[in-house]
Amino acid sequence: MNKRRDRVTIVDVAAEAGVSFGTVSRVINNDVHVKPQTRERVLETMRRLNFVANRQARSLAGGRTNTIGLLVPDLGTGYIGEIIRGIDTELGDAGYDLMLYTTHRAATKEAGYVSNLVQGMVDGLILVLPRNPSDYIGIMTQRKFPFVLVDHQGTGEDCPAIGSTNWQGAFNATNYLVKLGHKRIGFITGWLDLGAAVDRLEGFKAALRTNKIPLLPDLIYEGTFAQLDGYTGALRFLDMKKPPTAIFASNDVMAMAAMDAVREKGLRIPEDISIMGFDDIPQASLMRPSLTTVRQPLEQMGRIAAQVLFDILKNPDHKHNRIELPTEIILRESTATLRKLQEEEPDLIRFH
């Protein structure tokens, strides 16, 4: 590797600036114990020599890496992309670099992955939608390693996390559907291992209760947030003798798939059946009819996650709990007032 040849190290800088390399190290780390004049001279030399501190060496020696790790399940839906955008913005402003890891990539040794990172590769970790966070959380809390969870509903542990008001969002959305006149609402759940999915389901149920609408088990389809579930779930509903007049999916991806199913059955949205999503991913506004949905402030969640991490970095002993950002219903074209006919003669509509 001839790289070694032309790489400038703190030793080079020290020699050039006429100081010991220890002093150079201090300058790099913004140590106060450096005469301003000396510091300036060193900085100037670094600039002139085009010096860049070696990451691995720094972390090996036990210092800061100025890098934070981001663990995401994948980059598929744009959902994650929004969150990353927020994180990225904050990190950039703060002068941190971003190391991206998709857990998909190391599915088997996920935990080992984390423990590796925890060993100094990065200064902190942001875990987006962690699948089985209890594995990590143990290690990290124990080692007092800075981390923040994004969009994960605590499994009981009490740790820094950013989420949104899933329960309230689902509650409000359901209420809205009821106000439109819908009484038979089919609900497609997310992956119930995730707290967020459970909360959405509970919000839905609570709203029915509040409105004194009976909860029919047949009108709840258990999905996993995956596209196919939206499709299958919707078909299940539509094949009932008395199908629902509205379908509320636990995320936009499933809602979109549900729309497909509805259309295949020859029904119109929203005239014959209303569709409600959750998340407000970028596509939601682009499709036709555009999707009425519960908006999670994804980008903002990312930003705040980063901010919280910075705060932990600064005050390790400060207590950080879960932060919930408000969700918001975004009215679009996929929902509409229930029509009388629709209520009474579902079959007529079915084959209009």
Which chain residues interact with its own copies by CB under 8 A?
1-4, 6-7, 50, 52, 54-57, 59-60, 62-65, 67, 70, 74-78, 81, 84-85, 88-89, 92, 97-102, 105-106, 112, 115-116, 118-121, 143, 256, 259-260, 263, 282-283, 286-288
Contact between residue 244 and residue 270 where contact means Cβ atoms under 8 Å apart: no
**Is there binding between residue 21 and DNA (CB under 7 A)?**
yes
Compute the least distance from the CB of residue 50 to DNA, in Å.
12
**Is there binding between residue 57 and DNA (CB under 7 A)?**
yes
Q: Is the Cβ of residue 64 or residue 265 nearer to DNA in the bound state? A: 64
Scanning the chain, the segments in alpha helix (DSSP H) are 3-6, 10-17, 21-28, 36-49, 55-61, 79-94, 110-116, 133-143, 166-179, 195-210, 227-238, 252-264, 283-286, 298-314, 340-344, 346-350
Compute the least distance from the CB of residue 95 to its own copies, in Å.
10
Q: Which of 2, 4, 214, 344 binds DNA (CB under 7 A)?
A: 4
What is the rounded distance in angstroms from the CA atom of residue 288 to the CA atom of residue 242? 26
Q: Is the Cβ of residue 106 or residue 330 nearer to its own copies in the bound state? A: 106
Q: Is the Cβ of residue 99 or residue 216 nearer to DNA in the bound state? A: 99
Compute the least distance from the CB of residue 304 to its own copies, in Å.
18
**Structure tokens, 111:** 């935990």
**Structure tokens, 105:** 């990539």
User: Which 3 state secondary structure label does DSSP give 125?
Assistant: strand
For residue 168, the tally of other CB atoms under 10 A from its CB is 18
Binding partner of residue 33 among its own copies, DNA, none, CB under 5 to 8 Å per kind? Answer: DNA
Binding partner of residue 16 among its own copies, DNA, none, CB under 5 to 8 Å per kind? Answer: none
> What does residue 74 show for φ and ψ, rounded to 5 degrees?
-170, -170
For residue 109, the tally of other CB atoms under 10 A from its CB is 10
Q: Which residues bind DNA (CB under 7 A)?
A: 4, 7, 9-11, 18-23, 25-26, 28-29, 32-39, 51, 53-54, 57-58, 60-64
